[in-house]
Structure formats: structure tokens, C-alpha cells
Amino acid sequence: MSNFYFGLFWVSVYLALVLSPLVALLLGRVPAGNGFWWDFSLALGFAGTAMMGTLFLQTARFRRVAAPFGIDIVYYFHRQSSLFAFAFILVHPVILLSLEPGLWDSFRLSPGNWPVWAGAGSLLALMLLLGSSLWRKTLHIHYDSWRIAHAVLACLALALAIVHILGVGYYVDAHWKKMIWGGITASWLLLLFYIRLIRPVLLLQRPYRVTGVRPERGETWTLQLAPDGHAGFNFQPGQFAWLTVWSSPFALKEHPFSIASSAERSDCLEFSIKELGDFTARIKDVQIGQRVYVDGPYGSFSIDREPAPGFVFIAGGIGIAPIMGMLRTFADRSDNRPCLLIYAYNSWERLTFREELESLQDRMELNLVTVLKDPPAGWQGEVGLVNRGVLERCLPEQRASREYFICGPVAMLDLSERLLHELGVPMHRIHSELFDLV
């Protein structure tokens, strides 16, 4: 089955998961109607809760689910659908309270009002969840703390929403309807159990050993790993994996990195990591023989998914890492299809993989264009940033039939995509990888 049909299948599964609680609630005996807006607000509440449940599924990293779209798109969808789930759940009490102001009384502190307080608690947890996600960087919340808080708040919001639904009992008074919600809750709990327990256990059983830590130009370190007691995994060039280095897979301290080594070698994985923050700055201290865990492969940023007569790569800074994986694979496969690499960096001295890129030109059809922001004296090449002029000068004549892979800073990605499109490259031939999933 092609990716398109797989994609269609998973979209249908998603719609079924979101809508089935609604359909189930409308079957059998339903309470006497209180008018359209009343029922509409309840439908929003139920749909919002069901959407909340599917948010866990979206970040569960099931390869079959993510494969047709790419995990970055799945994460993007996760962000957008969480906003919709929140809006639905927020509008639900707003409508009810404006229709029936007397309902404010149910917020009085009395033991009988616990279902309403559970609903309010769920909404509050959702607000904190969204606020801390949307403004994490502005609020200076460390990624690791945010991730733990995110998981706790998500479970709390969903659990309280279900307590609210079952406690209020409206539309779910029949025993079998309670069973349906119980079943839905149980499947979400199972999912959580899989993500937090089963998957870490599976990773623990397939460890990797560090076999090398190599300095590269541009404050970058290449970590070389070998599977320890198993055969490793096959991957497509350009894909990425989550690395856990100083903790156990249970600790939620994994970081995503592109696989920079050739896809022709599953016995040895390489990740080239630029010093940036707490975790990446410590990579140089990793010990040879140290045990690490690799959860992968993920992602759809790969030449293997896009057959074409030729390829154009645009890299900025450490965005070269996944592209390096693709170029090394081209060379190992003796694939002679023409490749153009436009590589933007600050300086010639710090240009990561400078020497290897030059030598790769002997092993494959690679045309290398380096764009330097701060060039050395006497530099004859391109200067500044990747802009329209650079693209007009470098792109091949048959540009519309090539596949384009861009990885680098957001501004470079956005500009390159727009310029390529203006220069006649169809959008479906442009693939971008952003090093920021949140």
C-alpha cells in the first residue's frame, strides 16, 4: 500500500477515535433534549476529551502511524489538535453557563459538586499544559522539566475529564455507556503503560556501546556507536533517532539526532552533535565503551522516499548532519545521480565536514557550493546567506524534476522554500527538516 493510502487509513482511524464516543453516546436512550446549544456544548466536551486521548497516541512514536506523514508532521498535528481540543473543552462550560447561569451554583464548595470541580481541574491542567508549551522558551522553562510537567499535566487533564464525564453522568447514565468510557479509558492507560514501561524495557534490551567520539570542525562531535549484543536496525539515510546517554530509557531524558552515517552500515551508527546546551555540550565527555540507548529510526526526510533523477541539498550549520548521512549513502551505493549541495556556514575554519565533503566529490556526482557569512581573505566563492542570487546561479536547469532537501535554521528554511517555489520548483519536491519538534 502506498504512503497515501496508509495516511488515509490513519486519518480515518483518528476520526473514528474522536467521533466514536459521540456516536456511542447518541445510541440507546438519550436524555430529554435541552435544545441545540445545550447538546452542542456537550458534544464539544465529549469530542474534546476524545481528542485529548488521541494526543497520547500521536506522541507514542508508533512507526507505522508516523511513516506516511513524517514524525515532524505528526508533532505539528499534535500541537494543532491540542489547541482544538482545548478550545472545545473551554467552550463547553462557557455555553452551558451562559444558557443556564444557575449552574454557577455547582461551583460552590460542597461534597456533591466534585464532578464539576473535576471538570474545572481538567480545564486548569489543560491551560497550564498549553501555556507552558506555547511559551516554554519565553518563560525559560528547561526542556527536561517541561517534558516531565507536560506528561504529568496531560495525564491529570485526561483523568479529571473522565471523572467529570462519569461523575456528571449526563448521556452516560446507561451501564453500557459507562462501560464504553471505561474501555476508552483503559485503552489510553494501556497506551501510557506501553510508552512509559514497555518501550523503555525494549530499549534496555537493545543497548549500544560508544566506539568513538570524534571532534569535527565547528564545535561539533561525532559519536560513533555499535549495537551491543544485537544486529542494530536498518534505516533510510536522513532519518533520526532519540538518544539516551547518561540515564536509563525510563528517565525521559532522550534527545533527537539525525543519523549522519551511511544507511549501508547498520553495524555502526554516527551522530554529529553541535555543542549548544546542557546535553550537547557534554557529548565530548562521553566515554568509549559507555552504554547508550537509541530509539529509532524515525522521520521522512530521506532520499529513499523520493525517487528522482537528481537531488539538491541546502544545509545551514549543523543542518548538514542528515544530509551527510544521505551523501555518504550515495557514495557507498556508488549511486551516480547528480547532487548539488549548497552549504551555508559562518566561516571556512569552522565548516563542519569540510575535508570529507571535498573527498566525497571523488566518490560521487557531487557539486559543492559553500556560502560563507564571514569568508577568509581571497575567498572566491559565494558570500552572505542562501538567497535568490545564490539559487539562480547554482540550481541545475532541470530544477523542476529534482528533489530538494533543506535543513538548517528556521529563517533559512522558510526563505529557501519560498525562493525555490518562486524559481519553479513544485512544492511537493521540497522537503525540510526542522531541528525543533516543540
Residues that bind ligand FAD (CB under 6 A): 137, 143, 240, 254-258, 271-274, 276-280, 318, 321, 435-438
Which is nearer to ligand FAD, 37 or 246 (by Cβ)? Answer: 246
Q: Quick check: 385 and 373 in contact, CB under 8 A?
A: yes
Give min distance, CB of 286 to ligand FAD, in A.
Answer: 13
Which is nearer to ligand FAD, 92 or 150 (by Cβ)? Answer: 150
Q: 74 CB contacts (<8 Å, ≥6 apart)?
A: 58, 59, 65, 66
Which is nearer to ligand FAD, 94 or 276 (by Cβ)? Answer: 276
The residue of the chain with the least Cβ separation from ligand FAD equals 277
Give min distance, CB of 132 to ligand FAD, in A.
Answer: 13
The secondary structure element, H or E, covering residue 121 is helix 114-134
Q: What phi and psi, each to the nearest 5 degrees, are found at residue 81?
A: -70, -25
Cell representation of residue 328: 555518504
Q: Quick check: 371 and 347 in contact, CB under 8 A?
A: no
Cis, bond preceding 375 (omega within 30 deg of 0)? no
Q: How far does CA 112 lie from the centroid of its chain? A: 42
Q: What phi and psi, each to the nearest 5 degrees, are found at residue 56?
A: -65, -40
Measured between alpha carbons, how far is 257 from 243 in angstroms, rounded to an integer?
Answer: 7
Which is nearer to ligand FAD, 122 or 416 (by Cβ)? Answer: 416
Which is nearer to ligand FAD, 315 or 419 (by Cβ)? Answer: 315
Q: Which amino acid is at 50?
A: A
Give the CA distances from residue 140 to residues 47, 126, 132, 409, in Å, rounded to whole numbers and listed in that order. 33, 19, 10, 20
Give the CA distances from residue 260 to residues 237, 264, 314, 432, in Å, rounded to whole numbers and listed in that order. 8, 12, 15, 16
Give min distance, CB of 80 to ligand FAD, in A.
Answer: 17
Which is nearer to ligand FAD, 92 or 274 (by Cβ)? Answer: 274
Give min distance, CB of 388 to ligand FAD, in A.
Answer: 27
Give min distance, CB of 79 to ligand FAD, in A.
Answer: 13
Give min distance, CB of 273 to ligand FAD, in A.
Answer: 4
Which is nearer to ligand FAD, 24 or 283 (by Cβ)? Answer: 283
Give min distance, CB of 6 to ligand FAD, in A.
Answer: 21
